[in-house]
Amino acid sequence: MRFWALLLVSLCFFVFVLLVSCAVPPGGVEMPISMEEAIDIVEDEVLSNLPGDLNFVCLKLDGALQKGTVIKEALESLTPPQRSGISSNGLTLQEPAYFFLLDKAPYSYFLHEMEYILVYGDESVSTHTAYSWPSINGETPSHLLMDYRDVPSDYIIDSNFDFAPVQYATLVVNVPWLAPEQEGFIIVQGLMEGERCYEDAVRTYLNAISVFRAYIGNGVVLFDGLVQNDAKKVLEKVDDFVDDGATVITIFIIAHGGVNTVRLGGQTFTAQQFRDKFQEYSNVRFNLILGSCHSGSFVDYMNDLDNVAVMSACSRDEGATTDVDWWESIQDYNPPDTGSEWTSSLLEAVAHIISNEDLYANTEDLAYIYNIPTICAILWLATDGALGNLPGYGLNNNLDLTNRVGHTTPRSYFPWGNVIW
């Protein structure tokens, strides 16, 4: 008798556990509709209305979010080109909901447009325009921070993103015969570990270190790399270099950014801050290279300064991209390139010029004609060469695939030539 009683109790417990596990999804919130039904709603009411030529990825979470959950933009301190959908206080859920993230520019750094999609128990939907990945109750689910090529497929509900793996091969340059004049280089990687695109930014930074260290050779040059938290010291480093006698300073930055803003080590810097610093040292030449989204706004902001050259990955209304080797059916001319698409193209053009003694000599002649430092002339030519517009130097292929397909428009300003592209 005791055996049958124990068996009955065990059976009841098993049924109870089974019922609870069916009623409460992995997210821990019971919902009147299933995740599968919510996905169908997103596909029917949101994804089906996207433009046919839009690249996108849409991801889900493990389960529903509970009432009271606060959803914010992770990069809320950056000023986007326009804003709607998410207040500075974030979204606070008034009822449980399934959350979906629609990324409308999967290759891009930030800021760029995304949609936070909420599906409620009554099958209603709300969409909220955002410009960075979400922070949910102060944290971001790990799969929302991954390169989309590495996200487990069961988190992706739909996409037309090209998941072909990219190739990585850090650019190695050997030019022992170079010995440039005294100058300064500040290489900045502004992303914090745990931010989207971090790994691509690190590869971009290492690529820049490799190329510019090769350029300085055995010359007496001020050189420093600033990563993560130290990226906030970039303007202080300018002061240090000037104090040490630098008369030309090249600043290379890979970071997230907005219009007239760039995020370095979790802190927002404005174009005005950089402009003020450059004007403070009017007798110093500056080269500012920006691989951030909306970086063309810095070109617009500084194109009346006569001691500053500015090079940007894109226009003020565009997003800079990570490494891209295929865009639909079009292949990159240099698939082994490393780091963000435009910066890798620019750096490869620089490496091409400094690796050839004849080309370097021609560039020195150009620098003499325009009365500018050699590095300024190199970067001036490389901006054209990166886009395949320098056939006389053997640079006749556009290495920036995102520019080839019309996704980005690199911009630059060089005061000595009175040229703006």
Please check whether residue 133 is in contact with residue 141, taking contact to mean a CB–CB distance below 8 angstroms: no
The sheet with strand 419-420 has its strands ordered as 222-227, 184-189, 248-254, 285-290, 308-312, 411-414, 419-420
The pLDDT of residue 12 is above 60: no
- Of 25, 91, 94, 113, the residue nearest 63 (C-alpha): 25
Give the domains, in start order, of the chain with CATH numbers.
21-159 (no CATH), 184-420 (3.40.50.1460)
Determine the Cα–Cα distance for residues 237 and 231; give it in Å rounded to an integer: 10
Kindly report the average pLDDT of the chain as a whole number.
Answer: 87
Q: How many percent of the chain have pLDDT more than 70? A: 85
- 271 by DSSP, 3-state: which? helix
pLDDT tens, 76-129? 877 555 555 677 778 899 999 999 999 998 888 898 889 999 999 999 999 999
Please check whether residue 291 is in contact with residue 313, taking contact to mean a CB–CB distance below 8 angstroms: yes
pLDDT tens, 184-197? 999 999 999 999 99
Top pLDDT among 144 and 171 is at 144
CA geometry: angle 356, 357, 359, nearest 5 deg:
65
Average pLDDT over residues 245-271: 96
Quote the DSSP letter at residue 139.
Answer: B
Average pLDDT over residues 142-170: 83
Average pLDDT over residues 264-273: 96
Q: Number of H helices and number of E strands within the chain? A: 10, 20
- Of 275, 274, 255, 273, the residue nearest 265 (C-alpha): 255
Other beta carbons within 10 Å of 420: 13
Whole-prediction pTM: 0.81
- Of 367, 322, 363, 329, the residue nearest 345 (C-alpha): 322
Average pLDDT over residues 370-398: 95
Determine the Cα–Cα distance for residues 223 and 250; give it in Å rounded to an integer: 10
**pLDDT of amino acid 82:** 54
User: Sign of the C-alpha dihedral, residues 38, 43, 47, 48?
Assistant: negative
pLDDT band, very low/low/confident/very high, at 290 (cuts 50, 70, 90): very high
